[in-house]
Amino acid sequence: MRLLILGGTAFAGRALAEEAVARGWTVDAFHRGTHAPPPGVTSLHGDRTGGGPPAPEKGEWDLVVDTWSGAPTAVRDAARSLAGRAGHCTYVSSRSVYAWPPAAGLDEDGPVVDGSPDAAATDYAADKRGGELAAVAAFGDRALLVRCGLLLGPYENVGRLPWWLTRIARGGPVPAPGPRDLPLQYLDVRDLARWTLDAAARGLSGPYNVVSPPGHTTMGELLDTCVRVTGADAELRWVTPEAVAAAGVEPWTELPVWLPPGEMHDALHRSDTGRAVATGLRCRPVGETVADTWTWMRGLDGMPARDPARPPVGLTPEADAALLAAAATATEG
């Protein structure tokens, strides 16, 4: 199998490249050269935003995967260039394309935001929807739309799980947003890669919600696993959603992964994934994701590099202290 990845050096793209190489596929990565691709991948350098070609000008492939998150015009131009030279196109999209707020249990037929393949960069949801439309316009029923949910695992460049592991590794009291049994929905990026390449090779098309079934783990299991894996002398001190709100701490950004029960949690952690599960999606245990991410982090010289296009995540020291004080007050009460 001959695979072209537009990207292929960071997080999801890297996981896709590593999985394809492990299968014995021939893998080319079209990228700017900012990061080296995994071993076994051939680099084809180009800058899709710098006025150069939107994709390699020569070559043919069985499959192409595009992970672009910026202006839909980049997806449009690449797809047009490759439509006659690639048998199938996968566009790595996002569940953010659904109109807000997505109801609990929403499947792929839910309403989506407006987007255009001809648009410049606007906002993430509209850009991803425009990218979807661009892929479909060029490849038709040879286009697979992978609507990802929360992604975790080695090489994460957003910083969500790395922040929790780093904070817990420091030891001592750690504010933990509750309730402990709050269900979470995420996907290890390597499971995303495995399902995506399987689906592309089978010629699947159309949209798929690609994230674990709801309740794959809980907030308590995730953080308990972080404590166990790091071996830290850390004590989780649970804080109610009401106390988090009273402290002025932002869910998701200041407390990565976590959203309080209600509309936001329903939207992000309770999507329907039956279509992907029925076509082979399998999710490894949370312990494996956390342990492998920690092993990767320990092999780095310092903190993992973060995507500069994304805002930083995690608690400030002041917010950390405020939540610990709230936890102590609740315990005393």
* Residue at which a domain ends, from 94, 120, 148: 148
Pair (13, 107) in one structural domain: yes
Q: Is residue 161 part of a domain?
A: yes
Q: Is residue 296 part of a domain?
A: yes
Tell me, what's the pLDDT at 330? 63
Pair (64, 132) in one structural domain: yes
Tell me, what's the pLDDT at 33? 85
**Whole-prediction pTM:** 0.95
Tell me, what's the pLDDT at 333? 39
Q: Which of 248, 283, 251 is nearest to 265 (CA)?
A: 251
Which residues, other chains included, contact 7 with Cβ-Cβ below 8 Å and sequence gap of 6+? 13, 29, 30, 31, 65, 66, 67, 68
Q: Is residue 111 part of a domain?
A: yes
Pair (170, 315) in one structural domain: yes
Contact 222, 285 (CB under 8 A): no
Pair (100, 170) in one structural domain: no
Pair (174, 77) in one structural domain: no
Pair (13, 76) in one structural domain: yes
What's the pLDDT tens digit per position in 258-272? 999 999 999 999 999
What's the pLDDT tens digit per position in 133-150? 999 999 999 999 999 999
Pair (60, 159) in one structural domain: no
Q: Is residue 94 part of a domain?
A: yes
Pair (139, 218) in one structural domain: no
Pair (225, 298) in one structural domain: yes
Pair (177, 255) in one structural domain: yes
Pair (80, 173) in one structural domain: no
Q: Is residue 192 part of a domain?
A: no
* Number of domains observed in the structure of the chain: 2
Tell me, what's the pLDDT at 331? 54
Which residues, other chains included, contact 304 with Cβ-Cβ below 8 Å and sequence gap of 6+? 155, 156, 157, 159, 162, 296, 297
Pair (158, 141) in one structural domain: no
Per-residue pLDDT of the chain (333 residues; tens, 9 = 90+): 999 999 989 999 999 999 999 999 999 999 988 888 999 999 999 988 877 899 999 999 999 999 999 999 999 999 999 999 999 999 999 999 999 999 999 999 999 999 999 998 889 999 999 999 999 999 999 999 999 999 999 999 999 999 999 999 999 999 999 999 999 999 999 999 999 999 999 999 999 999 999 999 999 999 999 999 999 999 999 999 999 999 999 999 999 999 999 999 999 999 999 999 999 999 999 999 999 999 999 999 877 777 777 888 999 999 999 999 999 886 543
CA distance 218 to 48: 39
- Count other Cβ atoms within 10 Å, centred on residue 215: 13
Residue with tokens 């425009």: 130
Q: Is residue 122 part of a domain?
A: yes
Domain extent at residue 130: 2-148
CATH code of the domain containing 53: 3.40.50.720
CA distance 233 to 230: 9
Q: Is residue 189 part of a domain?
A: no
